[in-house]
Amino acid sequence: DAEIDLKKIINSALIVPIELEMGLPADIISTVEFNHTGELLATGDKGGRVVIFQREQESKNQVHRRGEYNVYSTFQSHEPEFDYLKSLEIEEKINKIRWLPQQNAAYFLLSTNDKTVKLWKVSERDKRPEGYNLKDEEGRLRDPATITTLRVPVLRPMDLMVEATPRRVFANAHTYHINSISVNSDYETYMSADDLRINLWNFEITNQSFNIVDIKPANMEELTEVITAAEFHPHHCNTFVYSSSKGTIRLCDMRASALCDRHTKFFEEPEDPSNRSFFSEIISSISDVKFSHSGRYIMTRDYLTVKVWDLNMENRPIETYQVHDYLRSKLCSLYENDCIFDKFECVWNGSDSVIMTGSYNNFFRMFDRNTKRDVTLEASRENSKPRAILKPRKVCVGGKRRKDEISVDSLDFSKKILHTAWHPSENIIAVAATNNLYIFQDKVN
C-alpha cells in the first residue's frame, strides 16, 4: 500500500460528475459503497433504487487515461410498504448497501431499508437458448401431435443484459429502524442493527436470526441511549463494535456469550466540563463507526469531530480531528433547523493513512494522519467541470474575509455531504451531494 500524498490529491483531483436524475426527493442519494475490487460502485436513494456504476477498462489508444465509471445496472430494491398492525408507513429509502466478495461471475450485495434486508444477485447474460422442442420461439407451448422431429436447443449470442434478482429477503426481525448492516469476515453471516437491538443472520436462512445485542430496558421510560452504528471486525469473525447516542463505543466478543450485552471493551472520552452546554449530549452522539482495514483502529464520527481509537486504549482516542469547529457558535440555529441531528459518515483510504468525511455547503474534509495536514474541498456543479482541478476551500470566522474564503454565515446548510466512499486500493473517491454523485481521482500525468 503506497501512502497517499495528500497534497497531490489536494492539488490534482480530477472530477467526473455523474448526474442522477435531478430534482425529485426520491433521487436523494442515501448510501454509497465501492465493492471489494473497486470496479463497481453502488448508490442507493430515497426512492428505493440501487444504481451500480462500473469502471470502464483502459483503452489501448488512451493508456494513460484511467477508466471512468458508467451506469452498469439500475434496479428497484425496495418498495414503500404499510405496517397494518402499527399503522406505520415503511419508506423505501435505502439505508445501507454492503457488497459481498466476488466468488464467481456474478456479484452479490445486501441492501436494506428501515425494516427489510435483501440479498441481490447481479449477473450478466449475453446468450439465449433457442430451438426448444415443446415451445415455439415466442415461448408458447406447442401441440405434441405436431412435433415430428427432436431438436437439440442451442445458445445464440444476444446483446448483453445485466439482471438483478433478489436471492434472499430477510424480514420481520426489527421492531425499530435498521441503521447498519455489516458482512462478517467468515462471509457466511452478517449483522443488522437497529436503535435497540443487533441481530446475526446466516445468508442461507431467512426465517431465523440470533439476537446478539439487546439494550431495550423493561420500562421504556428508563431508555437513555440508542445504538447508532455497528460493524464487524475485518479479520476476526467473533468481534464487532457498536456505537451509541451517548458517544460511547462497545467492543463485543461473541465467544464470551451468546448474548453480547456485556461488552469486552468500552471506549469513552471523558467530557471537558468547560465545554459543557445544552447541546453537549446531542453533538457527542456518534453517527458512524468504521474499523480500519488493518483492524487495529476504530474511527468514529460525531457532529463536530472525527476520532481515531486504538483497540488497546479505551480511555481516550489517539487522534481527534475537527471537521467544522466554526459551527460551535452556531449550534443554537442548527438545533432549530434540525441540522444538528444530521448523521455524517466517515471513511478510510485503502492504507488507513487518510480519513475523509463530509460537512455543509457541499464541503468535504480530508485528514492525513501522518503529516497532520488537512484540506476542505467542495463538490458542486458550479465549480466542478469534468477534469477540472479542485481548489481547497476555507471558511472565515469573523474578522476580515479574504477573497477566496467563504463566511461561516453564508454556508448553505441544505447542501450537505453525508455519504462518501473511498476506492479500496486507489485514490478514487465517491461523494454524494444530495442528488448528485461526484467521482474524484488523482490527476493522471
Taking only the tens place, the pLDDT of each residue in 354-381 is 999 999 999 999 999 999 999 999 998 7
Contact between residue 171 and residue 112 where contact means Cβ atoms under 8 Å apart = no
Q: Which pLDDT score is estimated for 23?
A: 55
Q: What is the pLDDT of residues 165-216, one digit of tens each?
A: 999 999 999 999 999 999 999 999 999 999 999 999 999 999 999 999 999 9
Contact between 152 and 82 (Cβ < 8 Å): no
What is residue 396's predicted lDDT score, i.e. its pLDDT? 84
Lowest-confidence region among 123-127, 355-359, 388-392 = 388-392
| Residue of higher predicted confidence among 387 and 264 | 264
Q: Which residue has the cell 441481490?
A: 120
* Residue 60 pLDDT: 57
Q: What is the pLDDT of residues 275-290, one digit of tens each?
A: 788 899 999 999 999 9
Distance CA 438, CA 432 (A): 6
Lowest mean pLDDT among 131-135, 259-263, 291-295, 406-410: 131-135
- 65: pLDDT confidence band, cut at 50, 70 and 90? low
Residues 6 or more apart from 140 whose CB is under 8 A from it?
none
Residue 45 has pLDDT above 80, yes or no: yes
Eight-class DSSP state of 416 = B
Q: Looking at the structure, give the CATH architecture of the domain made up of residues 9-121+170-442.
A: 7 Propeller (2.130)
Look at residue 14 and tell me whether its pLDDT is greater than 60.
no
Higher pLDDT, 291 or 409: 291
Q: What is the mean pLDDT of residues 315-330?
A: 94
Average pLDDT score over residue span 97-126? 95
Q: What is the pLDDT of residue 67?
A: 65
Per-residue pLDDT, 7 = 44
Task: Supply 166's cell numbers.
Answer: 433478489
- Tell me the mean pLDDT in the region 19-23: 47
Window from 91-95, 172-176, 324-328, 384-388 with minimum mean pLDDT = 384-388
SS3 content of the chain, % helix, strand, coil (to 5): 10, 40, 50
According to the per-residue pLDDT averaged within each range, which of 12-26, 57-71, 191-205 is highest? Answer: 191-205
Spatial separation of the C-alpha atoms in residues 385 and 363, rounded to whole Å: 16
- As given in the structure block, the three cell numbers for residue 403 are 477573497
CA separation, residue 90 to residues 30, 75, 94, 278, 402 (Å): 16, 19, 11, 33, 48
Q: Comparing 9 with 441, which gets the higher pLDDT?
A: 441
Q: Report percent pLDDT > 90 for the chain.
A: 68
- pLDDT the model gives residue 8: 47
The answer to whether 362 touches 378, Cβ cutoff 8 Å, is: yes
Q: How far is CA 19 from the centre of its chain?
A: 19
Per-position DSSP letters for 95-112, written without gaps between them: -EEEEPPP-SSSEEEEEE
Alpha-carbon gap, residue 365 to 89, rounded angstroms: 36
Lowest mean pLDDT among 81-90, 213-222, 318-327: 81-90
Query: Residue range 82-87: average pLDDT?
Result: 85
Give residue 414's pLDDT. Answer: 93
- Check residue 219 and give its pLDDT: 92
Confidence of residue 352 (pLDDT cuts 50, 70, 90): very high
Of 51-65, 215-229, 337-351, the least confident: 51-65
Alpha helices in 223-292 (DSSP H): 280-284
Q: Mean pLDDT across the stretch 419-445?
A: 89
What b/e string do you get for 267-287 counting C-beta neighbours within 10 Å, with b at 16 or more? Answer: bbbeeeeeeeeebeebbbbbb
Res 64 pLDDT > 90:
no
Residue 61 is predicted with a pLDDT of 59
Cα–Cα dist 231/221, whole Å: 28
Residue 158 confidence (pLDDT): 84
User: Looking at the predicted structure, is the pLDDT value of residue 18 above 70?
Assistant: no
Residue 444: per-residue pLDDT: 58
